Structure 1
């Protein structure tokens, strides 16, 4: 299926999927650290479990090992293929659709194209992030992760045990998994249970994409072209993706903090619960100050910059076209 001879959907979907898998595999441990830093709140005496990025990474690796750094990666790798395909292909599609009769794309339409791609991806991003966050945060929140009966109540909960963490003599509880969390949410809240924090996810992803894609397009257009192609050389696409990703991720980090808090189904003893985006913004500002909105900002930049640099490079390298026997890279 294609809109015309200049927009072939299938190879772009393949490129988007491969780009997502390669990118996520490279940066996932940093994303896990980002989630834990964003979720931690000061204790009664102001103490913090993690001092900074390196301290969090060191403690996580020491306590949970190498594979602990990849908690939640399974669901992310499974869903990143459609997520990145929707995001990257969606932007290309909207850019193609919104071109003027002269074949140009004004800045306003570039922003609209990016925003449209961000809006389309949340159908996959929201449940992917929700499940990933529970698994990433399990080490911080220790023993039990509640996932059920989430009806704006901060009391009644159904808990999914992480496992026999305390080495008690009783039989080990079922280990936490994305499948188990999803089943509990579907059982108690239906499909909407997987879309907790959808509003915050939409706000983050639409804003991010509206900034990222136009900026990337303009930066990428400045680079040297590959021989016999209108695409930039791979290293310029990589750098353009890194710079655009860094800029967009820093801009939306406050919304990402709110999204992470709203999608965390477990609050440790004494931690604040939130009823929505405005309530979360208000309580974080009141209790933790404006700096809290930039928790994990460095981690997020370290995740997003190379992730999109890698993804854009792979996407434009033309693997899909090569596999289908179309235009070679």
Structure 2
């Protein structure tokens, strides 16, 4: 229960602060070259079978005609808030929290216990078999992180799909409900696992790199500062540094994941595209730059998100242990 409380607090705070950056990152990753003047974004993108009513009845759909007009993180934030309202920057917050709480609790408690068990085994090996080589402790953190993340991603993938779609464009909850029903009718349960493979390709190395880096940074800082170190500060700095390194190495897979997941609710042909087809289309549309799209907002998001999450988790653990 202490682990559940510690991880839940971190998940809620992280979701509230980081959702706008996640929205901006997804918008930057999914945008393509501008459409010809007069064409509707909804219609041209295959997200609706009819031309957007705004184009015919109310006023030209100028905002959605230019999905490729974001020039950067700050520009995207200003334009989304101006055209869709400030609340659009928190699109998908509900699914984010619904997903974050059980996923984070499961992920962190699984990691913590598995890592502690592996490190205990290594310690025993060093004590009883000193002549045998034993891997360093950060390898236990990497293995535990990969195992915990694999299970957690599989469990929460359907909710992650809905969250990504809500953040990729402005949708009401009624439209989300229609999207879910049409996707189920088109491809069944498998439609909610679009992007599972690229998600795993991103999250497995990310978790391995992140937890190995975090364990190394944390151990180094604790050794440098001595027994009177600040646990919150050490965890915050270690989480931020490890998050930056892991994000840079795994970012192309994050872009591929986003482009796979925003197909939900589209045509049957779109939803049946393989990962290789999605990658080829991304390259043909924008070249190699497509795979680095959204890197800045992802770094801006992931580094503090990792820092906030792990520091709250470790600090609550510290409080419980000192009682």
- TM-score class, shorter-chain normalisation, is 0.7 to 0.9
Structure 1 residue 119 and structure 2 residue 150: aligned?
yes
**SS at the partner of 2:26?**
helix
C-alpha offsets along residues 77-119 of structure 1, whole Å, 9 cap, x if unaligned?
1110111122222221221232325257634433222211221
Aligned residue among 65, 72, 79 for 2:92? 72
Structure 1 residue 137 and structure 2 residue 168: aligned?
yes
Shift of 1:273: 7.7
Structure 1 residue 277 and structure 2 residue 275: aligned?
yes
Tell me the distance in 2 between the aligned counterparts of 1:265 and 1:77.
22
Residues 244, 303 of structure 2: 8 Å contact kept: yes
**SS at the partner of 1:275?**
coil
Tell me the distance in 2 between the aligned counterparts of 1:125 and 1:250.
24
Structure 1 residue 253 and structure 2 residue 251: aligned?
yes
Q: Which has the higher helix share?
A: 2
C-alpha offsets along residues 208-233 of structure 1, whole Å, 9 cap, x if unaligned?
101100101111112248x9989852
Aligned residue for 1:176? 175
Q: Which has the higher strand share?
A: 1
Residues 158, 192 of structure 2: 8 Å contact kept: yes
Residues 221, 232 of structure 1: 8 Å contact kept: no
Residues 183, 265 of structure 2: 8 Å contact kept: no
Shift of 1:248: 0.7
Structure 1: where are the runs of 5+ without partners?
1-9, 140-161, 164-173
C-alpha offsets along residues 222-279 of structure 1, whole Å, 9 cap, x if unaligned?
2248x9989852112111111111111121110000000000026999xx88722222
C-alpha offsets along residues 269-291 of structure 1, whole Å, 9 cap, x if unaligned?
9xx88722222223322332212
Residues 236, 310 of structure 2: 8 Å contact kept: yes
TM normalised by structure 2 equals 0.77
Tell me the distance in 2 between the aligned counterparts of 1:14 and 1:228.
28
Aligned residue for 1:84? 104
Residues 262, 274 of structure 1: 8 Å contact kept: no
Aligned residue for 1:25? 16
RMSD (CA atoms): 3.0
Residues 192, 264 of structure 2: 8 Å contact kept: no
Aligned residue for 2:63? none
Q: 1:232 to 1:208 in 2, by over 3 A?
A: farther
Aligned residue for 1:6? none
Q: 1:1-20 residue pairs with structure 2 within 5 A? A: 10-20=1-11
Residues 32, 285 of structure 2: 8 Å contact kept: no
Structure 1 residue 297 and structure 2 residue 292: aligned?
no
Q: 1:256 to 1:230 in 2, by over 3 A?
A: farther
Aligned residue for 1:201? 199
Tell me the distance in 2 between the aligned counterparts of 1:182 and 1:212.
33
Q: 1:274 to 1:219 in 2, by over 3 A?
A: farther
Structure 2: where are the runs of 5+ without partners?
37-65, 127-134
Tell me the distance in 2 between the aligned counterparts of 1:124 and 1:230.
40
Tell me the distance in 1 between the aligned counterparts of 2:7 and 2:184.
29
